[in-house]
Amino acid sequence: MTKNIAVIRGDGIGPEIVEQALRVLDKTAELYGHTFNYTDVDMGGCAIDKYGDPLPEKELQKCIDSDSVLLGAVGGDKWNDVPGHMRPEKGLLRLREGMGVYSNNRPAKIWQQLADASPLKKSIVDKGIDFIIVRELIGGIYFGEHKTEGDTATDVLKYSESEIERIGRIGFETAQKRNKRLCSVEKSNVLDSSRLWKKVMHSLAEEYPDVELSDMLVDNCAMQIVKNPSQFDVVVTENMFGDILSDEASMITGSIGMIPSSSLGATTCGLYEPIHGSAPDIAGKDLANPIGTILSAAMMLRFSFDMPKEADAIEDAVSAYLDAGYRTADIMSEGMTQVGCRKCGDIITENLKKE
């Protein structure tokens, strides 16, 4: 198969981690007889420097016209003082909205080889951590009206039934493919939008009798994620709650640098990115962990290109790398062999095999 991939290297460590993911994709293409064509897209701080705009229309269009988008990371202190509508993050939000990718899938799974890196007690980790946060990505407070008038600032949190229904369906379908437990997270004791959220989730539940639906208030969920994470299978929640809970969930796996994500909408053209940021402090030093991006590329093959064997091969190559004791600085521990970003890419690429 031939696939056209839009590649956003972005800022900070973005370019170096994306480079390693592309090497892994190229080797996969060679082994399985595919062709991946890459189109570079400027987004984030580098686009502000070049065009005075974090995502010019023509760059967005390249993404919409592609078969899928691979993104490193955007942002950095350098652009902290630019006005809100010009920030690098605004490029990312415009990209998500422009591609219509309303469903963001963020797995929180512990790699057995890295279990010691979790900040949680061993007795909790041993019960297993393997759940997915399905986050609504193009609605809610992120996309409501934002304004500052005098000494007062306002951000509007708004959801319609249809916006909730489409993400709800993804939650139920994701649960159907796993252990059939869906936890809907909201703040229905306070917010109208959350009461609507809960109502829609319960009316959808009738269509998915094989899935067990539960409700949880977001503050309680934040607590349960550290107290008893093994209770979760799939969590579905609105945009900002999902943003916060997914950072928390990634931390308990001990290695935010390892976590990929996928964002999809009505078509198979998806956006794939690691969930960590651009880490400007270590940029260009060959210290970054490219695995979150490499695993994001694997997700692209699985969810957008229908290449499950190829995706398995990449995940197996990552697992073999960890088994052999290699670690980048972020997950380094005693007795392991420390490697840089490029070397990590070398080893994972070498490990790739056709099953």
Shortest Å distance, C-beta 75 to ligand IPM:
6
211 binds ligand IPM (CB under 6 A): no
CA 41 → CA 70, 83, 327, distances in Å? 10, 22, 30
Shortest Å distance, C-beta 93 to ligand IPM:
6
272 is annotated as an active-site residue: no
Show the tokens assigned to 100. Answer: 């219509």
* Cβ proximity to ligand IPM, 64 vs 93, nearer residue: 93
Question: Rule CB under 6 A: which of 228-267 touch ligand IPM?
Answer: 243
Shortest Å distance, C-beta 2 to Mg ion:
33
247 is annotated as an active-site residue: yes
16 binds Mg ion (CB under 5 A): no
Q: List alpha helices for 41-140, DSSP H.
A: 45-51, 57-64, 88-99, 122-125
What whole-number distance in Å separates Cα of residue 200 and Cα of residue 235?
Answer: 15
Shortest Å distance, C-beta 246 to ligand IPM:
6
142 is annotated as an active-site residue: yes
What whole-number distance in Å separates Cα of residue 109 and Cα of residue 327?
Answer: 18
187 is annotated as an active-site residue: yes
Which one among 19, 26, 53, 89 touches ligand IPM, defined by CB under 6 A? Answer: 89
97 binds ligand IPM (CB under 6 A): no
What whole-number distance in Å separates Cα of residue 200 and Cα of residue 164?
Answer: 7
Residue (of 2, 190, 223) closest to 120 by Cα position = 223
Exposure string for 9-19, b = 16+ CB within 10 A, e = fewer: bbbbbbbbbbb
From the list 86-94, 178-186, 278-286, 304-312, the region that binds ligand IPM by CB under 6 A is: 86-94
- 3-state SS, residue 109: strand
Interacting residue ranges for Mg ion, rule: CB under 5 A = 243
Interacting residue ranges for ligand IPM, rule: CB under 6 A = 89, 92-93, 243
Question: What are the residue numbers of the active site?
Answer: 142, 187, 219, 243, 247
